[in-house]
Amino acid sequence: MTTYTGSCLCGSVTYKAEGEPRRVFECYCNWCQKITGGSARAYAVFDRGSVEYTGENISEFVDANTEHGFKMINRFCTKCASPIEMQVERVPDGQFVPLGTIDQRQQITVKEGLWGKEALPHVAFKKGREVRKQGGDSDLI
């Protein structure tokens, strides 16, 4: 079984994920843009319970009023504010781990893009990558 490790920027929160991620994607939605201050956010989604966190500096922001209509929880290191996990109400069996926090991130391939219709004008979609108009299994762009 594959094991992935990772941490926040300051190292106060670390984690170990067992098994392969079931989905790896970039999200271009307005929510991800706002929460990161960037153009997109990349995630590796693991089965719930396969990611174990250690550290005492974990906080969370619960957004129960997203424009998508479902609750999202952004967990982050209280010390350095690095995002370490997102939980999505409509995907209760998944743990969304920010790709940039995974030590082995260079070995993981982003396979798709979500919410492409909300991508900023400067975003160029990688050739061959499926980009969906919205989330889930919505139509491709």
Number of domains present in the structure of the chain: 1
Domain that holds residue 16: 3-131
Flag whether 96 is in a domain. yes
Q: Using a cut of 0.85, tell me whether the model's pTM lies above it.
A: yes
Flag whether 103 is in a domain. yes
**Could you identify the residue written with the tokens 């069996």?**
93
Burial of 3: CB neighbours in 10 Å, binned 0-12, 13-18, 19+: exposed
Q: Which of 22-26, 40-44, 95-99, 137-141 has the lowest mean pLDDT?
A: 137-141
Flag whether 111 is in a domain. yes
Flag whether 51 is in a domain. yes
Flag whether 15 is in a domain. yes
CATH number for position 82: 2.170.150.70
| The token pair that represents 32 in the structure block | 């991800």
Average of per-residue pLDDT values in the chain: 94
Q: How confident is the model at residue 45 (pLDDT cuts 50, 70, 90)?
A: very high
